[in-house]
Structure 1
């Protein structure tokens, strides 16, 4: 009799666990669909891709960027890509923009970036802006940058705002590029919105894709440029 009670208790526990698990799965599916519905889907037209070139990786992308230029990297983290930009492009003026200060993007990374670029900071060829990306845009005059590279939270809303705010800060013929041109991070189940924000911006403001990278093991990058009126 005692054994039967124990078996029944185990069955009840398993049934309860399954019910809870089913509810969690259903809730997550609803949240994903809600998020999906919040991200607009705007279709590109032929003029937005006719000059687009595929590149193997973002190392090649840097090879296409103007040397001795005025550059911003928006979203620096620990500065590994910043170092690559500095070595390959040799910017005349290099602005590094990031909030830092969170658990993942902590001040230890901020200090590491400062230490690496200590000499350039002293020479005023590198400047660090510890500020939110959308606020940082107001610190620069119009038509200031030759090109920028965006790598922040990858959400539709943030990317949309960054593109709109930094576009006037880029010189005519200049480039706005960025990372994580993909649907999301499937390990963390985080839905990106970079693709949708870029496409919407190109259609609404008459810009075109000029470069896309095709890394199989890393998030892809994009580069866009204002379509020149004839």
Structure 2
């Protein structure tokens, strides 16, 4: 609040307006903060908090970062990246794992991302031409219906990071994974604190593992970017 006061005083430099602003702010600011706190508390209550067992983390390996994770995933496989944005990580997948085919799945419909669809097509023009890359401009769970069961060696999920979305994506793509295959994903963290946005990836992954007998295979240990996870079926 003091930072807001200082900014208004410095920028406006209009005493009557400044005083009027402070009067309104002093009245509504505490109520606004209380409202936001209640919203966060209610949202937090809705997230499942299922505990993993020792079996769910047995032999889970901590790796340095996403590049190190890619080195652990199957080479020359049938792969999907779900949530592509500009295609930067897609390029890493191509160059580090040499997939037989790479399906890039994204709706690219938000104001932030809609212009990137053409850029991604241009970026992978050669790979699209030779059949290595296929682009699917659909919602993630809708796209899953277009693939047969036991199709992918592994997939990597990086969409909106919400609990409900991640839960639905895990359920939709699990049947599409071959025996011994992997579901990996980004943003295995509590949230984006700069934007005050709570993620639900951890809760969705843990719930899925407990309810469907999957386990953690790899976790990454980045500090400068959000961490990734990789899970596989129990007994594989």
Question: How far apart are 1:10 and its partner, in Å?
Answer: 7.3
Question: How far apart are 1:11 and its partner, in Å?
Answer: 6.4
In structure 2, the residue matched to 1:18 is: 26
In structure 1, the residue matched to 2:125 is: 118
- Structure 1: 5+ residue stretches without partners: 1-6
Moved more, 18-27 or 124-133: 18-27
Q: 103, 108, 125: which is aligned to 1:100?
A: 108
- Structure 2: 5+ residue stretches without partners: 1-14
Alpha-carbon distance in 2 for matches of 1:116, 1:201: 34
> SS at 2:102's partner residue?
strand
Alpha-carbon distance in 2 for matches of 1:136, 1:10: 53
Q: 55, 74, 79: which is aligned to 1:66?
A: 74
Question: How far apart are 1:48 and its partner, in Å?
Answer: 0.1
Aligned pairs for 1:71-90 (under 5 A) are: 71-90=79-98
Question: How far apart are 1:9 and its partner, in Å?
Answer: 9.8
In structure 1, the residue matched to 2:159 is: 152
Question: How far apart are 1:16 and its partner, in Å?
Answer: 3.0
What TM-score, normalized to structure 2? 0.91
Greater than 6 Å deviation, 4+ residue runs? 7-12
Note the alpha carbon deviations across 1:48-99, whole angstroms, 9 max, x for none: 0011000010100000011110000000000000000000001001000000
Note the alpha carbon deviations across 1:168-193, whole angstroms, 9 max, x for none: 00001100000000000011111000
Alpha-carbon distance in 2 for matches of 1:52, 1:8: 62
Alpha-carbon distance in 1 for matches of 2:108, 2:150: 27
Q: Please give the root-mean-square deviation of Cα atoms over the aligned residues, in Å.
A: 1.6
In structure 1, the residue matched to 2:191 is: 184
In structure 2, the residue matched to 1:140 is: 147
In structure 1, the residue matched to 2:206 is: 199
Question: How far apart are 1:207 and its partner, in Å?
Answer: 0.4
What TM-score, normalized to structure 1? 0.93
Question: How far apart are 1:163 and its partner, in Å?
Answer: 0.2
The reply on whether 1:38 has 2:38 as its aligned counterpart is: no
Note the alpha carbon deviations across 1:92-116, whole angstroms, 9 max, x for none: 0100000002111122x11111111
Alpha-carbon distance in 2 for matches of 1:9, 1:213: 51
Alpha-carbon distance in 2 for matches of 1:120, 1:222: 27
- Relative to structure 1, the CA distance from residue 98 to residue 12 in structure 2 (aligned partners, 3 Å threshold; closer, same or farther) is closer
